Amino acid sequence: MMQQGNVQSAPNGLIMVTGAGGQLGQELVALLRSEGFHVHGVTRAELDITDSEAVSRYIRQLRPEAVVHAAAYTQVDRAEVEEDEAFRCNALGTRNVAVAAEQIGARLVYISTDYVYSGDGDTPYNEWSDTGPINVYGRSKLAGEQFVRELHRRFFIVRTSWVYGPYGPNFVKTMLRLGTENKEVRVVDDQRGAPTYTLDLSRAVIALLHTERYGVYHVSNSGQCSWYEFACEIFKQARMEVKVTPILTSEMPRPAARPRYSVLEPMMLRLNGLPLLPPWQQSLHHYLQGRSGE
């Protein structure tokens, strides 16, 4: 177990996690508790982050040492027709959390996304690469980043990609279900990124909280693949006989455009001497081994 460093030295060492009912939030709360942290997870039902007064009151009463802001509007396609709602949650909600955290001197971790990039390139994006989101979801998350930069002094912005884990729906679970039901799937092969296991992402967030090396970080599992290659590896490791057919994005049109290439380079982790995440294939294996007992 890592030493708790700066977190432990706080008056009560309390860490608040928003979005505690979500895929990453549940993982974060469980891991923080297992490592002996005093953690308070808050769900959407318990706190409406779009209500600035409610957020200010909640955080002022709780007085956490750090806030990990994992709550978000994540319905990428629906955001195209619910733009106001996406911005209300991802931009204004983040503004509210950032202001309230700054008011009581709490450090802030904001979970962001690879979708802040256009995907037009073919080399990994580092933390200083120009952003240029191509859908409403990406624009709303980037707006949240901008509020964090403007309104908070001690923050970590953590961009990640293609997240999966034991909690909530995700691509791995979808493939396993479709493979069982149909024995044949069609998967996009012209979008590349890096799958990220929520356990590894949570460990990286905790590692950042041990430091005061604030800034923007790219945190995803090492390596890259297409969705098609990801699916093939899932079935290979799960030892499932499933026919996987590669297709173009144009053959499966969606309301929201997706970045063609959104691999994140963890330059800030390297520069600050922090651990890089394991290869995505290794983490997928760890996740699937855990599922075998379900």
Mean of all residue pLDDT scores within the chain: 94
Contact 133, 126 (CB under 8 A): no
**pLDDT computed for residue 13 by the predictor:** 87
The pLDDT tens digits for 179-237 are 999 989 999 999 999 999 999 999 999 999 999 999 999 999 999 999 999 999 999 99
Q: Is the pLDDT of residue 10 over 90?
A: no
Q: How far apart are the C-alpha atoms of 4 and 199, rounded to whole Å?
A: 18
3-state helix, strand, coil in the chain (%, to 5): 45, 20, 40
Instruction: Check if CATH label 1.10.10.10 holds for domain 5-165+195-222+263-278.
Output: no
**pLDDT computed for residue 2 by the predictor:** 33
Token pair 């700066």 is at which residue?
6
**pLDDT computed for residue 4 by the predictor:** 36
**pLDDT computed for residue 1 by the predictor:** 29
Residue 137 bears catalytic tag: yes
Burial 123-144 (b: 16+ CB within 10 A, else e): ebbebebebebbbbbbbbbbbb
Contact 234, 187 (CB under 8 A): no
The pLDDT tens digits for 89-126 are 999 999 999 999 999 999 999 999 999 999 999 999 99
Angle at 9 between CA 3 and CA 14, to 5 degrees: 90
Proportion of the chain above pLDDT 90, given as a percent: 93
Closest CA to 147 of 8, 50, 286: 50
Query: Which of 58, 137, 217, 228 is labelled catalytic?
Result: 137
Average confidence (pLDDT) over 43-64: 97
Burial 172-194 (b: 16+ CB within 10 A, else e): beebbebbeeeeebbbbbbbbbb
**pLDDT computed for residue 5 by the predictor:** 37
**pLDDT computed for residue 292 by the predictor:** 57
